[in-house]
Amino acid sequence: MKTDIFYKPKYPQIVMLICGVAVCFLGHLFAYIMGLFFVVFALVVQLFVKDHIVMSIDDKKIVFFNDRSGKVDREIWLDEVVEWNINRQKPYNLYLKLNTGEVLLRESFQLAKANRALRKLMPKKETLAIKQAESRKTKLAFKNPFKKKGKEKKKMDVKKAYFEKVKEQIQNAYFDQSTKIKDAANIIYGTMVNGGVVQLFGARHGNEFVNELNFRAGGLAPYHGMNVSILDLEGLYDHEAIKSGAIYDDVNVVDTLLGRYKLDDRDMIILVSKDGNEPLVIELAKRYKANGQKIIAIVNKKSYDVSPKLCEDGKLLDYADMYLDMCADEPDLALDIDGIKACQTSSTVANVLAQMLTAEVYNCFIENGKEAPVLLSANIKGADVHNNALTDVYEGRVR
């Protein structure tokens, strides 16, 4: 079997000749003119346009010809072809990949004819068919062989990807917990107007929430952070145990920690723990609960739900009056960068929760006609006098 592919169409001029003769017999002047046009066009193509064979396909090989000289440009044996494809939308519409790794892109004509011949001779080597067969095994998507190199994969803008991820989670935290934030703000406001201090304690990265609120310009004076690092500074606990986080598993350190601060029964506590299961955090919650003081927990609910109990006394939400959710995934990994899981969002969302909470507490003061105890930046003239006036009334309970 042999298939010759020509540059000049083989039959269209005959069809046009027949159409022209038929139109001429319609008798209308316009029809005569159009008919004569078709006849002349068909004759010109037939008589003056030279046939140029550009490709010949037989059972053994594909031969490419020079369309001007008619000489053979190249012969490709069918056994050499690994993949082939025809794309009607491209100038170089015939794609061949050889077993040497060489890729050929050639301009072809009479594509339907060429396509039928190649499919008959090499049905299993058509690129699309190969990719479809592979996809059933490996879930690979069809890759266009005509696509230019360097454009196959768009490089991810990782900073934007993280921004979009954390923005989505902050929005979720706002819409899902707006009412709970107001409820928590009312509890905090009630503590502050009654002379109480809002004690803050965070386990591990939860300490970032504490730093976000504790004695910050634009923040509220009656926030007070408790931190295990004070035991290290005063030589009361092993430095490596604090650095590694092992201290959070030691419930016996509670009395020593609380003894470093001047506390009051009017106080409440906000406990921050992503997993909500550290024994030290649970012991602090037990102490405040037993004393009838309010407890607000900040956890990542998805992490909390799968975290194991590390002590017989349960987990943080067993003692909290209410909780706010960091709304992060579990595990807390925001991005997949070429198969590597990276970046976290729980601390970022928690810090935004802290500021939303402060804003609502400030609003509670305004709505009740009271002046909010807002700290000023040290860069403002008279800030020290203003801030000391706010903190002195607590007689060392705030520092």
Q: Per-residue pLDDT tens for 184-233? A: 999 999 999 999 999 999 999 999 999 999 998 999 999 999 999 999 99
Domain boundaries, position 225? 158-392
Q: What whole-number distance in Å separates Cα of residue 139 and Cα of residue 322?
A: 46
CA 3/CA 61 separation, integer angstroms:
11
- Cα–Cα nearest to 278, from 310, 304, 234, 323: 310
Answer whether residue 240 is part of any domain.
Answer: yes
pLDDT of residue 140: 45
Confidence of residue 133 (pLDDT cuts 50, 70, 90): low
Answer whether residue 389 shows pLDDT above 50: yes
123-137, 196-210, 273-287: segment of lowest average pLDDT: 123-137
Q: Is the dihedral of CA 137, 138, 142, 147 positive or negative?
A: negative
Q: Looking at residue 375, what is its pLDDT?
A: 94
Render pLDDT for 58-74 as a digit per residue (tens, 0 to 9). 888 888 887 667 788 88
**With 80 as the cut, is the pLDDT of residue 335 above it?**
yes
| Mean pLDDT within 22-47 | 71
How far does CA 232 lie from the centroid of its chain? 40
Residue 119 counted as domain residue: no
By the 10 Å C-beta count (0-12 exposed, 13-18 middle, 19+ buried), 58 is classed as: middle
In the chain, the percentage of residues whose pLDDT exceeds 90 is 51
Which residues pair with residue 3 across a beta bridge?
57
Query: What pTM did the predictor assign?
Result: 0.62
Instruction: Specify the pLDDT at position 135.
Output: 55
Name the least confident of 29-43, 190-204, 280-294: 29-43
- What CATH code is carried by the domain that includes residue 293? 3.40.50.10490
379 burial class (0-12, 13-18, 19+ CB within 10 angstroms)? exposed
**Phi, psi values for residue 264, rounded to 5°:** -145, 145
- Beta strands at 223-226 and 198-202: parallel, antiparallel or unpaired: parallel
The pairing of beta strand 2-6 with beta strand 322-325: unpaired
Q: Once rounded to an integer, what is the mean pLDDT over residues 231-255?
A: 92
Report how far residue 288's alpha carbon sits from residue 281's, in angstroms, rounded to the nearest whole number. 11
Asked, for residue 120, whether it belongs to a domain, the answer is: no
Over residues 153-157, the mean pLDDT reads 68
Burial class (CB in 10 A: 0-12, 13-18, 19+), 365: middle
Condensed to tens digits (0 to 9), the pLDDT of residues 69-114 reads 778 888 888 888 888 888 766 666 788 888 887 888 877 777 788 8
Number of structural domains (the chain) is 1
What is the distance between the alpha carbons of residues 217 and 211, in angstroms, rounded to a whole number? 12
Distances (CA, A) of 338 to 59, 153, 155: 45, 11, 10
For residue 306, what are its two tokens?
A: 């799968």
- pLDDT of residue 36 exceeding 50, the answer is yes
Residue 343 lies in a domain: yes
In a domain, 363, yes or no: yes
pLDDT of residue 152: 52
Q: What is the pLDDT of residue 143?
A: 59
Considering the domain boundaries, does residue 371 fall inside one? yes
* Inside any domain, residue 6: no
Would you say residue 377 lies in a domain? yes
